[in-house]
Amino acid sequence: MIKLGVNIDHIATLRQARYADMIDSPNCEPDIVAAASACERAGASGITVHLRADRRHIQDRDVFRLRDSIMTKLNLEMGNTPEIVETALRVLPDEVCFVPENRQEITTEGGLNVTRHFKALKQTVQRIHTAGIRVSMFIEPDAAQIQASSELGADAVELHTGTFANLPAALQLDEVDRLEAAARLAKEKKLLVNAGHGINYSNVRLLIANPHWNEFNIGHSIVSRAVSIGLENAVRQMLERLKS
């Protein structure tokens, strides 16, 4: 079965809306560690957080607390910037996923251009690997990006599914074919193949037939459903979709 990594950035978004300057307050809620534990109890295979340069949601303290508490896997999404790289090397997550980052965007808007940033990424990947951390690249389902990720020595790629998610239903199947072809190529390159961005309880059914997937990283849809039915139930429902 496809594994499920739950992105809990939006739990922190809710907290920051009220407690941005008081995250050590005893009244501060929701608690990021409690949320991660709920996801794990429900069967999530890992917890994903994005430590952004502007710290709009996840804070450094959150990442260290999660490292000390979660029982599954900590996947740290990050830009290739010196400050964040140094933080990752102190935290020692199980995996880092390099993503593009634009301070003006609401959420990540596309895949990382590995071919363009190959030289800068090469040195960072070597440092991350030396620390014993797995490396993934968040990329478009594109052969050149997959080849560059392989040449960098990445352990995995996460294919950007945002284009698929945002298309009208009548056009989604063509993008599903594109994702499957990219996943097949990545698997041939000995890369683990993950997917993420815009996957929800409805559109996930079009993706799960692809035999090459390792893990889906899903956040907004799960956190949104959790408002109505609770986080554990929301995670369990997504896992049921992945079993279908």
Q: What pLDDT is stored for residue 116 in this prediction?
A: 96
Please indicate whether residue 24 or residue 76 has the higher confidence score (pLDDT): 76
CA of residue 101 relative to chain centroid, distance: 13
User: What domains are there in the chain, each with its CATH number?
Assistant: 3-243 (3.20.20.70)
Check residue 210 and give left, alpha or beta (phi > 0: left; psi -120 to 50: alpha): beta
Q: Which residue has the higher pLDDT, 96 or 108?
A: 96
Render pLDDT for 33-63 as a digit per residue (tens, 0 to 9).
Answer: 999 999 999 999 999 999 999 999 999 999 9
Beta bridge partners of 196: 160, 217
| pTM of model > 0.85 | yes
* 123-174 pLDDT, tens digit each: 999 999 999 999 999 999 999 999 999 999 999 999 999 999 999 988 999 9
Instruction: Please list the active-site residues.
Output: 50, 77, 197
Mean pLDDT over 5-14 rounds to 97
Q: How far is CA 156 from CA 23, 153, 190, in A?
A: 34, 9, 8
pLDDT in tens, 195-206: 999 999 999 999
Check pLDDT > 60 for residue 101: yes
pLDDT tens digits for range 211-240: 999 999 999 999 999 999 999 999 999 999
